[in-house]
């Protein structure tokens, strides 16, 4: 009965998320989802791409497991909580696993199924000890508080990704996939609006503040990805244009995410509209013809973010 109640709760949460999208956006997101699934269909049907899609799903499921805030609750209140988690992950990955079966990708299907049995037993041990890496993180300026907190929180993902990227860099697709995952991690740095005192402390006008944040966002992302980019160029220098294209798109989407955040900024809160429209940026990464729409939204959100923050920073306007 407890399992049934929890699954019903998940369905209600999903319904609430869909309802918050609004009647105007739902058809648009549905089209985006169908197009994305069509691309997934194409990738899984080909031997040269199915491994990268499977690896991407493995990382996505691992991120969900390690970032879950309800593990302690489930462990203490739900009988056989590990099996319940397995059920959730099997349902979540059902669209993916069905395609593996349709295209007779038995090896990847069995490997992914075995992984889902292991996944609920993976967890991140908490430690109060300061690591050597934390000392380097602390060197970041206090102006970059989102990055300091975000990198420290996701260090357990970033370090393995670097090792995988460096070791597997002899293969053309490894580094681009790792760069994408790193961008997804950076995406999570801006989920919640900071306290307004953090913004006022800069004593800048709204326009200067936005431009400063955009500059630092792109610069820090380039610094974060620079070691992997250099390794990629060593082994695939003839494909330099591919690296430039990927970094350009990801840097642009960094700008879009930040502008979306401040266009709908509310102190100490996560805006549902921000979650929706930032999700659009994520979708455009996989459906490239939506990128021009994202560019148009970025221009609109640049103006809107200045207007929104000017309410709080009008005293510093020049």
Residues 301 and 184 both lie in one domain? yes
Residues 239, 112 share a domain? no
State the pLDDT confidence band at 28, using cuts at 50, 70 and 90.
low
Is 152 in the same domain as 292? yes
pLDDT digits (tens, 9 = 90+) for 192-239: 788 888 888 888 888 888 999 999 889 989 988 999 999 999 989 888
Residues 6+ apart with CB under 8 A from 94: none
Alpha carbon separation from 136 to 131, 132, 159, 192, 226 (Å, rounded): 9, 7, 13, 24, 16
Q: Among candidates 212, 205, 190, 194, which has minimal Cα distance to 312?
A: 205
CA dihedral 291, 296, 301, 302 (to 10 degrees): 100
Pairwise CA distance, residues 294 & 289, whole Å: 10
- The number of distinct structural domains making up the chain is 2
* Pair (238, 166) in one structural domain: yes
Q: Are residues 134 and 122 in the same domain?
A: no
Looking at the structure, tell me whether residues 50 and 182 fall in a common domain: no
Helix axes of 291-313 and 240-263: crossing angle, nearest 10 degrees: 40
End residue of a domain, out of 91, 109, 126: 126
Domain assignment of residue 224, given as a range: 127-318
Q: Are residues 33 and 178 in the same domain?
A: no
Q: Average pLDDT over the chain, rounded to whole?
A: 81
pLDDT band at 42 (very low <50, low <70, confident <90, very high): confident
Do 121 and 138 sit in the same domain of this protein? no
CA angle 6–7–11, rounded 5-degree value: 115
| Residue 148 and residue 121 in one domain | no
- Domain boundary, last residue among 126, 145, 169: 126
Residue that wins the pLDDT comparison between 251 and 281: 251
Residues 30 and 170 in one domain: no
- The C-alpha atoms of residue 217 and residue 213 are separated, in whole angstroms, by 6
pLDDT at 136: 64
For 214-233, letters b (16+ CB in 10 Å) and e give bebbbebbeebbeebbebbe
Same domain assignment for residues 158 and 237: yes
Q: Do 230 and 305 reside in the same domain of the chain?
A: yes
Instruction: Kindly report the number of other CB atoms within 10 A of residue 148's CB atom.
Output: 18
Residue ending a domain, choose from 74, 102, 126: 126
Q: Where are the alpha helices (DSSP H) in 45-154?
A: 47-67, 71-77, 81-92, 94-102, 106-118, 132-137, 145-153
Q: State the pLDDT at residue 22.
A: 58
Cα–Cα distance measured from residue 71 to residue 85, given in angstroms and rounded to the nearest whole number: 9
């Amino acid at each position: 009965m407890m399992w049934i109640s929890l699954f019903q709760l998940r369905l209600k949460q999903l319904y609430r998320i869909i309802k918050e999208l609004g009647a105007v956006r739902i058809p648009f997101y549905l089209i985006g989802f169908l197009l994305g699934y069509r691309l997934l269909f194409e990738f899984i049907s080909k031997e040269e791409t199915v491994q990268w899609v499977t690896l991407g799903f493995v990382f996505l499921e691992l991120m969900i497991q390690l970032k879950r805030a309800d593990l302690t609750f489930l462990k203490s209140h739900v009988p056989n909580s590990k099996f319940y988690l397995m059920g959730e992950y099997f349902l979540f990955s059902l669209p993916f696993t069905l395609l593996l079966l349709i295209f007779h990708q038995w090896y990847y299907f069995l490997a992914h199924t075995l992984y889902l049995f292991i996944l609920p037993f993976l967890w991140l041990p908490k430690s109060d000890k300061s690591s050597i890496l934390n000392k380097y993180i602390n060197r970041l300026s206090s102006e970059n508080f989102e990055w300091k907190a975000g990198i420290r929180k996701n260090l357990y993902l970033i370090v393995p990704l670097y090792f995988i990227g460096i070791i597997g860099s002899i293969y053309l697709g490894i580094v681009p996939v790792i760069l994408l995952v790193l961008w997804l991690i950076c995406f999570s740095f801006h989920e919640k609006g900071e306290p307004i005192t953090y913004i006022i402390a800069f004593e800048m006008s709204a326009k200067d503040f936005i431009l400063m944040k955009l500059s630092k966002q792109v610069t820090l992302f380039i610094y974060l990805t620079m070691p992997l980019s250099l390794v990629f160029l060593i082994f695939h220098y003839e494909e330099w244009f591919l690296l430039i294209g990927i970094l350009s798109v990801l840097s642009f989407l960094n700008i879009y995410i930040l502008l979306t955040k401040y266009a709908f900024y509310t102190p100490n809160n996560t805006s549902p509209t921000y979650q929706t429209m930032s999700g659009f940026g994520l979708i455009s990464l996989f459906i490239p013809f939506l990128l021009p729409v994202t560019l148009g939204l970025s221009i609109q959100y640049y103006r809107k973010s200045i207007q929104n923050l000017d309410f709080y920073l009008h005293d510093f306007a020049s």
